[in-house]
Each structure stands twice: as structure tokens, then as C-alpha cells.
């Protein structure tokens, strides 16, 4: 009888120990050694793939398409489960995509904010849910003195202000060759999406730099948004050309797609793009290189969209618990390309 009682006690102890062990394994939180979500344990567990929710701006330009492909291909290569959404350039769509990633409890959220402001609530929600956020390509600004950096791990992208300055520098350096004998140059500025970081920063960089010219005077005669698309770039250029075809010396475009759209408008107005009207754009897309090689476009300042591999490295680091090692800002190296370099560079262009 005594023996039977002892056996029963031993059996009960074994059962309760094994239940405890199972609980710790499956939940990952039953033991004090268990890693919190978003640490090395999650990424090293071969059964559980890292889940990245990415809210893309849209498909407005060649640059954006290259950016999307880079992110999708690198996620595949890195074995990361990518949930991808295209917001069609609408902030409300991006906000709902981010909210759905929060509801799905993804491991990391990354997004390229269509405009700079209006993210306070959703970034707070991601923070409250303990989901790390990475900003790619475009930055955000918060209201009420809040520091945006407190709401994301890192920003991965380009220095848009510098890109605007580089575009202006090209004109300053080449003024005598491009506009022989002219002392006053009229610039028409095709801006990107209203309220977006690249439109704000490129304008600021360009406008401030271009007025530093000492010998020739550059005047920005008209500025209007073409929303970063070819079609809208063409439309705005068409409307300017109706009245100002003979005044327009330079078209500065916040991206190449708008510049490529404007080429059609310039030709339709009976002018020679790249000669009668100098075109300077930003991005460095293949189409701009082809137009430069054909003498129809003058300069493209590079903006690198191929940031997928870097994003996947960042996601892995976060999941490995190395967030503290990630710099708050990671910028891409970029160049400036002119007509003279275009033909030789064309075969090397990846987007
Ligand atoms: O945010 C980057 C900008 O967005 C690119 O210059 C433009 O082409 C894109 O649409």
C-alpha cells in the first residue's frame, strides 16, 4: 500500500514536470531564459520564419518599381516572409496596411511614408504593440515636439537635400557651356508629391544652392507638382509650354519619370529637349540614361532604390537582438551622371 502511494506521487511529479517543459517550449515565455519576441531565438528557430510587413508608397515611378523588386527579391533570398502592400500613393491606405501588420503581430514593420506628417497615431500603435519599425527611403515628422527617432529603429535611404544641391551644382558648374552668353536663366521646377520628404528636401536643397551663383543669375520662374509620375510631369510641362515655350531655359525635375514625360511635351511643342531646354532630373533610372545618350536629357542625380539587401540585414539584426548596433540613419552612396557619361554607363544600370 505504502509502495503504491509512493509510485503515484512519483508519476504525478513526472507528469507535472513534462507539462511545464512543454509550456515553456511552445510559448517561448514559460522560462526566465526564454527570449522575448524579436530576439535571436526567433530568428534561429528554423521552424518560424521572420515576418516583415512592408507598406510601399505605390508604383508611381521606375524608381519605385526597382525599389519594390529589390525588397521582394531580397526578402526571398534572405528567407524572410514578406507581407507587402501597395498604397497607391494614398496615406490612408498605408496607415491601414500598417494597422493590419500590427493586428497580424508581424515581427518587424517597414514602410516608405508617402508624406512626411500624419503618422503619430499609427507609429504609437506599433510602439505600444512592441513591433519595431524601420523607415525606408522617406522620413517622417512628428507633431507636438515628439521626436520621430523614438518611434523607429533606423532610417534607410538617401539624402534628398544633397540630391537637390547636386542638381543645382551641375547647372552652376556648366552654365557657360549650357547657356553661352546668357546672364539670366529661367528655371521651371517640376516638384514631386506634395508633402513628401523627397519633394520638400530636394526643393530646399536645389533652391538654396542655385541662388549662390555669382556670374549667371538663375531664376525659378514656376514650380508645380507632377506627383512623381510621367503622365503628370508631361501634363504640367505641356501647360507651361503653352505660354512659356520661348522663356524656358531649364526644367528641373524632382524625379526622372517626370522629366521623361516632359520630353514628350517639349517635342510636341516643337522644341528640342536637352538642347533648347536643358533637363536635369533625379533618380538615375535607365530611361534617363537612354534619353541622355540620345542627347535629350542633360543630367540625372542618382538616388539608389536597391536597398532591399540592406533592409533584410537590418531586420535580421533586430531579430538577433542587435538593435543597439544599428545606426539611426543609413545612407546610400550615390553619383551624378551627365550626357557625356551616359552611353558608357548605360550597360551598368540595374534599374
Ligand atoms: O522617394 C523617392 C522618390 O519617390 C523617387 O525619387 C521617385 O522617383 C519616387 O517616386
Task: Report the C-alpha gap between 39 and 139 in whole angstroms.
Answer: 26
pLDDT tens-digit map of 94-136: 999 999 999 999 999 999 999 999 999 999 999 999 999 999 9
The CA 197 to ligand 1 mean position distance, Å, reads 9
The CA 32 to ligand 1 mean position distance, Å, reads 46
pLDDT tens-digit map of 243-282: 999 999 999 999 999 999 999 999 999 999 999 999 999 9
Does residue 329 sit within a domain? no
Does residue 129 sit within a domain? yes
Beta carbons of 83 and 72 less than 8 angstroms apart: no
pLDDT at 4: 54
∠ CA 167-116-329, rounded to 5°: 70
Task: Give yes or no: residues 84 and 204 share one domain.
Answer: no
Task: Give yes or no: residues 274 and 169 share one domain.
Answer: yes
Task: Give yes or no: residues 115 and 189 share one domain.
Answer: no
The CA 116 to ligand 1 mean position distance, Å, reads 13
Which of 98, 154, 103, 155 minimizes the C-alpha distance to 121? 98
Does residue 270 sit within a domain? yes
Does residue 4 sit within a domain? no
Q: What is the CATH number of the domain that holds 76?
A: 3.40.50.2300
Sheet holding 278-283, edge to edge: 217-225, 184-191, 250-253, 278-283, 299-302, 336-338
Task: Give yes or no: residues 215 and 230 share one domain.
Answer: yes
Q: Which domain holds residue 290?
A: 160-303+336-348
The CA 227 to ligand 1 mean position distance, Å, reads 10
Q: Cell 536663366, residue?
A: 185
The CA 218 to ligand 1 mean position distance, Å, reads 25
Task: Give yes or no: residues 138 and 243 share one domain.
Answer: no
Task: Give yes or no: residues 201 and 141 share one domain.
Answer: no
Residue 305 CA: nearest ligand 1 atom is: 2
Task: Give yes or no: residues 85 and 141 share one domain.
Answer: yes
Measured from the CB, is residue 255 less than 6 Å from ligand 1? yes
In total, how many domains does the chain have?
2
C-alpha cell at 29: 515565455
Spatial neighbors of 45 by CB under 8 A, at least 6 apart, are: none
DSSP string for 12-44:
HHHHHHHHHHHHHHHHS-SSTTPPPTTSHHHHH
Does residue 241 sit within a domain? yes
Task: Report the C-alpha gap between 187 and 221 in whole angstroms.
Answer: 6
For 302, left (φ over 0), alpha (ψ -120 to 50), or beta?
A: beta
Task: Give yes or no: residues 170 and 149 share one domain.
Answer: no
Task: Give yes or no: residues 310 and 197 share one domain.
Answer: no
- What are the beta bridge partners of residue 224? 190
Task: Give yes or no: residues 172 and 66 share one domain.
Answer: no
Task: Give yes or no: residues 152 and 179 share one domain.
Answer: no
DSSP string for 251-296:
EEESSHHHHHHHHHHHHHTT--BTTTBEEEEEE--HHHHHHHHTTS
Measured from the CB, is residue 282 less than 6 Å from ligand 1? yes
First to last CA, the chain: 82
* Of 59, 64, 86, best ligand 1 pocket probe by most atoms within 8 Å of the beta carbon: 64
Tell me the pLDDT of the chain averaged across its residues: 90
Does residue 115 sit within a domain? yes
Task: Give yes or no: residues 209 and 342 share one domain.
Answer: yes
What pTM did the predictor assign?
Answer: 0.87
Task: Report the C-alpha gap between 40 and 75 in whole angstroms.
Answer: 18
Give the residue, by CA position, lying nearest to ligand 1 atom 3: 198
Task: Report the C-alpha gap between 258 and 297 in whole angstroms.
Answer: 12
Does residue 261 sit within a domain? yes
Does residue 177 sit within a domain? yes
Beta carbons of 156 and 314 less than 8 angstroms apart: yes
Residue 198 CA: nearest ligand 1 atom is: 1
Measured from the CB, is residue 303 less than 6 Å from ligand 1? yes
Residue 62 CA: nearest ligand 1 atom is: 8
Q: What are the residue ranges in the chain where pLDDT is below 50?
A: 1, 3, 8-43, 45
Amino acid at each position: 500500500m505504502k509502495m503504491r502511494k509512493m509510485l503515484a506521487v512519483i508519476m504525478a511529479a513526472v507528469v507535472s514536470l513534462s507539462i511545464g517543459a512543454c509550456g515553456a517550449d511552445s510559448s517561448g515565455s514559460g522560462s526566465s531564459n526564454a527570449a522575448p519576441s524579436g530576439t535571436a531565438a526567433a530568428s534561429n528557430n528554423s521552424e518560424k520564419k521572420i515576418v516583415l510587413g512592408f507598406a510601399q508608397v505605390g508604383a508611381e515611378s521606375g524608381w519605385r518599381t526597382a525599389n519594390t523588386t529589390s525588397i521582394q527579391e531580397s526578402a526571398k533570398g534572405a528567407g524572410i516572409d514578406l507581407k507587402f502592400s501597395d498604397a497607391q500613393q494614398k496615406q490612408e491606405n498605408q496607415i491601414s496596411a500598417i494597422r493590419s501588420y500590427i493586428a497580424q503581430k508581424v515581427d518587424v514593420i517597414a514602410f516608405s511614408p508617402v508624406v512626411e506628417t500624419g503618422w503619430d497615431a499609427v507609429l504609437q500603435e506599433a510602439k505600444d504593440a512592441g513591433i519595431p519599425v524601420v523607415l525606408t527611403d522617406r522620413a517622417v515628422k512628428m507633431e507636438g515636439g515628439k521626436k520621430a527617432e523614438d518611434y523607429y529603429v533606423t532610417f534607410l535611404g538617401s539624402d534628398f537635400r544633397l540630391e537637390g544641391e547636386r542638381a543645382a551644382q551641375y547647372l552652376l558648374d556648366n552654365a557657360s557651356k549650357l547657356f553661352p552668353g546668357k546672364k539670366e536663366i529661367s528655371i521651371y521646377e517640376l516638384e514631386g508629391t506634395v508633402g513628401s520628404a523627397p519633394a520638400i528636401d530636394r526643393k530646399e536643397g536645389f533652391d538654396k544652392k542655385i541662388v549662390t551663383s555669382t556670374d549667371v543669375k538663375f531664376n525659378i520662374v514656376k514650380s508645380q507638382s507632377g506627383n512623381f509620375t510621367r503622365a503628370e510631369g508631361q501634363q504640367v510641362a505641356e501647360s507651361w509650354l503653352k505660354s512659356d515655350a520661348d522663356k524656358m531655359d531649364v526644367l528641373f525635375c524632382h524625379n526622372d519619370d517626370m522629366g521623361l514625360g516632359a520630353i514628350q511635351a517639349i517635342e510636341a511643342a516643337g522644341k528640342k529637349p536637352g538642347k533648347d531646354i536643358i533637363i536635369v532630373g533625379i533618380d538615375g533610372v535607365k530611361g534617363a540614361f537612354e534619353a541622355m545618350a540620345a542627347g535629350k536629357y542633360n543630367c540625372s542625380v542618382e538616388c539608389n532604390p536597391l536597398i532591399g539587401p540592406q533592409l533584410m540585414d537590418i531586420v535580421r539584426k533586430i531579430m538577433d537582438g542587435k538593435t543597439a548596433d544599428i545606426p539611426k540613419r543609413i545612407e546610400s552612396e550615390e553619383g551624378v551622371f551627365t550626357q557625356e557619361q551616359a552611353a558608357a554607363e548605360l550597360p551598368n544600370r540595374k534599374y
